[in-house]
């Protein structure tokens, strides 16, 4: 990762005045650590017994690249992935997605591939997708070792084939958590077309001015 | 010995909600936010029930029972409403969206034009005294009378007698229009295109509700410009999804694709059975389709969903608009509504327009009743017609703890839907909904 890249926690004042805002969605089976990854990334926290997602489904975090600040508007599933009740709204206008699986559970990887397919079907065609093999810290609870390696190899091959970013992460130890968001930030198209092409603006904001803190929805033009 | 993991169905809830239409999703959101444990189910595999937006375009053909589906380039570009409604910019639904912060999930566009039909021609609805004076809808003297009427409407304060200008507090609306010497055509458009009444019953009632409705109209216009209406990108079906998300964020459990086999009261609890499993709750809320024995049919609405390849004539090429054909103008008892949106709202492919013509059924040939509206939008590329029964609950549900909502009526906006939502809320909780008490989404922004 570029050494000048950093994750800004707290109020970031960007010096270049160039902020790009992107909608990023999380996908994956229940209990693979979607919320934990976000909590680690946004607040630097980890809770061993994180409850099923309640009350925190819309977080933002900025990432500073060399010449640009990327602001992620992060959507969590709010538990709606269970019972196949995730609304199409969730995918709308998403420019990035992290599909999470649990490295100790082969099923969650199989399901992750289904989520990738779902994204390719429902989301915008140029969405940046990252595959995260989470709970990489759980080496002592790993399944049969070669299975994990098999998954790892399969995941890497699968990612390459599908043009996905891929990392193993641990929300617990913070391993690769900032990195995966940074990698996505690097890969996102920062030109105006890339942004506004995904999210038509010109909509009336209703109370948007008080809720959305900046007007920078497609703000990369300069 | 295998320990079967308990499914979410076997738990006990405060409320079970059946159907994910707008009414049910808003109530679900409000209940979840106030700390109630909610289970929300729908027999369909998609959100929105009657208030969904059909996608991809093939679903539109399927919905209306059409076998042959032509080839469309980008079928997923389509999100087609079957119940046509707009949001009043200053109306109750916008207030609910803002207070619950659900606005953050949605983007709206202002509807470009609001029109009224008079003697075979389409006119822009003048919403201010200035516009009234500039409008070709009325003759020169009538314009002045109408402008002074509008001025009176805007100035009227119940507790300030000097603003009454001699109108008695118990006057009927027809007495008021007589006092301002407004002619029949003017009364038609102020009652139907501004106060948005569907019949002429309002004329014999007290004038104040009409004054408040005209104010809602003009104040909504002042918010964003050309019309009092707003419309969400990707179709109306986004709104129930937004409130469902709110409910889920506060712990609501969602299950789609759940056929509901039985709802009954047993030992003081409501039991809802789906696929052989039973969930229990203190009370249940649902749309009329889940409670066929607890509702009565009150009317019928006929709606024609049309695909066009041109903006509607005489609307200044509006990308979105509403045209109201007042009942008197076409010898009917109920108005005909035409509402149109287009690809700028991400509801159809580029170069297409969607128009829905609707009215309350008065005859045995509903389709023919739409003719004056259909004529306005010709030529029509595709037309799907459906007559729907409008249901209301038989009782207030307090005895049975089964609270049933109303069907989506023929009005062109969501005000009556919101009245129903607030009414169900009150029947359930025993309290009026207090807009100031809605907890803002507690999510912190980093």
pLDDT of A193 strictly over 80: no
- pLDDT for A198 equals 41
pLDDT band at A56 (very low <50, low <70, confident <90, very high): low
pLDDT at A53: 55
Distance from CA of A190 to the nearest CA of B (A): 22
pLDDT score recorded for residue A146: 55
Q: How many residues does chain A have?
A: 222
d(CA B117, CA B227): 16
Q: Does B83 share its domain with B136?
A: no
Domain assignment present for B345: yes
| Same domain flag for B162 and B197 | yes
pLDDT, residue B405, reads 98
For residue B75, give Cα distances in angstroms to A82, A102, B340, B346: 27, 35, 19, 12
Q: Which stretches within B34-139 are classed as H helix?
A: 58-63, 92-100, 129-134
Residue B442 lies in a domain: no
Looking up residue B427, the CATH number of its domain turns out to be 3.50.50.60
Residues B442, A55: C-beta atoms closer than 8 Å: yes
- The whole-number pLDDT of residue B434 equals 82
The average pLDDT across B36-63 equals 95
Q: Is residue A4 part of a domain?
A: no
| Packing angle, helices B22-33 and B415-429, rounded to 10 | 40
Residue A197 has pLDDT above 60, yes or no: no
Quote the pLDDT of residue A52: 59
Range of the domain at B354: 75-113+297-390
Q: Please tell me which residue, B145 or A84, carries the higher pLDDT value.
A: B145
Residue B4 belongs to some domain of the structure: no
**Per-residue pLDDT at B30:** 95
Do B198 and B324 sit in the same domain of this protein?
A: no
Each residue's pLDDT tens digit, A114-170: 999 989 888 888 899 999 999 888 866 665 455 667 777 888 888 888 889 999 999
If pLDDT is split at 50, 70 and 90, which confidence band does A210 have?
Answer: very low
**Structural contact between residues B293 and B411, judged by C-beta atoms closer than 8 angstroms:** no
CB distance A213–B445 less than 8 Å? Answer: yes
**DSSP string for residues in B425-440:** HHHHHSS---GGGPPP
pLDDT given for residue A3 in this prediction: 39
Residues B292 and B415 in one domain: yes
Percent of chain B with pLDDT over 70: 96
Does a structural domain hold residue B440?
Answer: no
Collect all residues with Cβ–Cβ distance below 8 Å to B364 and sequence separation of at least 6: none
Residue A170 in any domain: the answer is yes
Name the residue among B109, B244, B250 with its Cβ closest to that of A203. Answer: B109
Which stretch of A49-63, B97-111, B329-343 has the lowest confidence by average pLDDT?
Answer: A49-63
| B interface test, pick of A41, A84, A204, A207 with most B CB neighbours within 10 Å | A204
| Cβ contact B103–A43 (<8 Å) | no
pLDDT confidence bin for B439, thresholds 50/70/90: very low
The whole-number pLDDT of residue B128 equals 81
Question: Could you tell me if residue A167 is inside a domain?
Answer: yes
Phi, psi torsion values for A77, nearest 5 degrees: -75, -15
Mean pLDDT confidence for A183-194: 77
Segment B12-28 shows an average pLDDT of: 97
Partner-chain contact B346 A59, CB within 8 Å = no
Residue B119 domain-assigned (yes or no): no
pTM of the entire structure? 0.88
Establish if B105 belongs to a structural domain. yes
Boundaries of domain holding A163: 18-187
Q: Answer yes or no: do B424 and B282 share one domain.
A: yes
Mean pLDDT calculated for residue range B356-369: 97
What number is the average pLDDT over the span B122-134?
A: 87
pLDDT of residue B44: 94
**Domain CATH code at residue B315:** 3.30.519.10
Structural domain count of chain A: 1
Q: Tell me if chain A has a CB within 8 Å of the CB of B94.
A: yes
Q: Is the pLDDT of residue A4 over 90?
A: no
Angle between helices B22-33 and B92-100 (to 10 degrees): 40
Residues B334 and B386 in one domain: yes
B1 inside domain: no
> What is the pLDDT of chain B when averaged over all its residues?
92
Q: Is the pLDDT of residue A103 over 50?
A: yes
Q: Identify from A9, A70, A83 which residue to disrupt to test chain B contact, counting B C-beta atoms within 10 A and taking the largest count.
A: A83
* Structural domain contains residue A29: yes
CB contact under 8 A, A54 and B250: yes
Interface test mutation site (partner A, options B96, B254, B345, max chain A beta carbons within 10 A) = B254
**In the prediction, which pLDDT does A205 show?**
64
Average pLDDT in the B222-244 region? 93
Percent of chain B past pLDDT 90, that is, above it, reads 85
Percent of all residues in chain A with a pLDDT value above 90, rounded to a whole number: 33
User: What is the average pLDDT across B230-240?
Assistant: 96
**Into how many domains does chain B fold?**
3
Count other C-beta atoms under 10 Å from residue A126's C-beta: 11
Helix (H) or strand (E) holding B118: strand B113-118
Let me know if residue B118 belongs to a domain: no
Residue A8: pLDDT band with limits 50, 70, 90: very low
pLDDT mean over B219-242: 92
- What mean pLDDT comes out for the span B357-366? 97
pLDDT band at B5 (very low <50, low <70, confident <90, very high): very low
CA distances from B271 to B1, B20, B32, B78, B110 (A): 29, 19, 20, 38, 44
Q: How far apart are the CA of B232 and the nearest CA of chain A, in angstroms?
A: 8
Nearest to B64 by CA among B270, B227, B306, B335: B306
Residue B405 burial (CB count, 10 A): 29
Tell me the ipTM for this assembly.
Answer: 0.79
Q: Does residue B230 or residue A16 have the better pLDDT? A: B230
Chain A residues touching B231 at Cβ < 8 A: none
What's the CATH number where A108 sits? Answer: 3.40.50.300
């Amino acid at each position: 990762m570029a050494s000048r890249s950093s994750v800004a926690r707290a109020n970031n004042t960007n010096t270049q005045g160039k902020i790009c805002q992107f909608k990023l969605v999380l996908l994956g089976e229940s209990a693979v650590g979607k919320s934990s990854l976000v909590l680690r990334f946004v607040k630097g926290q980890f809770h061993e017994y994180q409850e099923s997602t309640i009350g925190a489904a819309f977080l933002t975090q900025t990432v500073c690249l060399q010449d640009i600040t990327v602001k992620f508007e992060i959507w969590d599933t709010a538990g709606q992935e269970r019972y196949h009740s995730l609304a199409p709204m969730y995918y709308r206008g998403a420019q990035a997605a992290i599909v999470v699986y649990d490295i100790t559970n082969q099923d969650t990887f199989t399901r992750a591939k289904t989520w990738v397919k779902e994204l390719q079907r429902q989301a915008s065609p140029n969405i940046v997708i990252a595959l995260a093999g989470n709970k990489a810290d759980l080496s002592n609870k790993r399944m049969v070792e070669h299975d994990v390696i098999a998954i790892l190899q399969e995941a890497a091959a699968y990612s390459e084939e599908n043009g996905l970013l891929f990392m193993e992460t641990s929300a617990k130890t913070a391993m690769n958590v900032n990195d995966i968001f940074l990698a996505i930030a690097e890969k996102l198209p920062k030109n105006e077309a890339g942004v506004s092409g995904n999210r038509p603006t010109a909509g009336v904001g209703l109370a948007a001015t008080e809720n959305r803190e900046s007007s920078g929805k497609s703000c990369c033009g300069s | 010995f295998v320990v079967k993991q308990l499914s979410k169905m076997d738990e006990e809830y405060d409320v079970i909600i059946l159907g994910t239409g707008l009414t049910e999703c808003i109530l679900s959101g409000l209940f979840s936010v106030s700390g109630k444990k909610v289970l929300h189910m729908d027999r369909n595999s998609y959100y929105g029930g009657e208030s969904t937006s059909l996608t991809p375009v093939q679903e539109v053909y399927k919905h209306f029972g059409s076998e042959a589906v032509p080839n469309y380039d980008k079928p997923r570009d389509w999100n087609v409403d079957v119940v046509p409604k707009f949001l009043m910019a200053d109306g109750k639904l916008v207030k609910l969206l803002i207070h619950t912060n659900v606005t953050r999930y949605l983007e709206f566009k202002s509807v470009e034009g609001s029109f009224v039909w008079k003697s075979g021609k389409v006119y822009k609805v003048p919403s201010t005294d200035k516009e009234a004076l500039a409008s070709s809808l009325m003759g020169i003297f009538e314009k002045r009378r109408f402008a002074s009427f509008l001025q009176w409407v805007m100035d009227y304060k119940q507790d300030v007698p000097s603003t009454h200008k001699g109108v008695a507090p118990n006057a009927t609306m027809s007495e008021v229009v007589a006092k301002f010497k407004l002619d029949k055509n003017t009364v038609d458009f102020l009652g139907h295109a501004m106060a948005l009444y569907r019949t002429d019953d309002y004329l014999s009632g007290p004038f104040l509700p009409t004054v408040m409705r005209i104010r809602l109209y003009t104040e909504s216009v002042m918010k964003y410009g050309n019309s009092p209406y707003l419309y969400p990108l990707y179709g109306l079906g986004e709104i129930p999804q937004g409130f469902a998300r709110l409910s889920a964020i506060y712990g609501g459990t969602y299950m789609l694709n759940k056929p509901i086999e039985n709802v009954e009261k047993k030992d003081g609890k409501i039991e809802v059975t789906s696929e052989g499993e039973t969930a229990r709750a203190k009370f249940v809320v649902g749309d009329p389709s889940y409670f066929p024995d607890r509702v009565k049919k009150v009317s019928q609405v006929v709606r024609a969903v049309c695909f066009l390849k041109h903006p509607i004539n005489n609307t200044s090429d509006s990308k979105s608009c509403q045209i109201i054909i007042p009942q008197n103008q076409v010898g009917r008892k109920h108005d005909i509504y035409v509402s149109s949106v287009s690809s700028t709202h991400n509801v159809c492919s580029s170069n297409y327009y969607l128009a829905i013509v609707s009215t309350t059924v008065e005859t045995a040939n509903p389709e023919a009743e739409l003719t004056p509206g259909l004529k306005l939008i010709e030529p029509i590329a595709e037309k799907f017609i459906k007559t729907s029964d409008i249901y209301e609950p038989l009782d207030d549900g307090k005895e049975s703890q089964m609270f049933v909502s109303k069907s989506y009526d023929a009005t062109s906006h969501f005000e009556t839907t919101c009245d129903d939502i607030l009414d169900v809320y009150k029947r359930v909780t025993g309290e009026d909904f207090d807009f100031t008490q809605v907890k803002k989404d507690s999510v912190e922004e980093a």
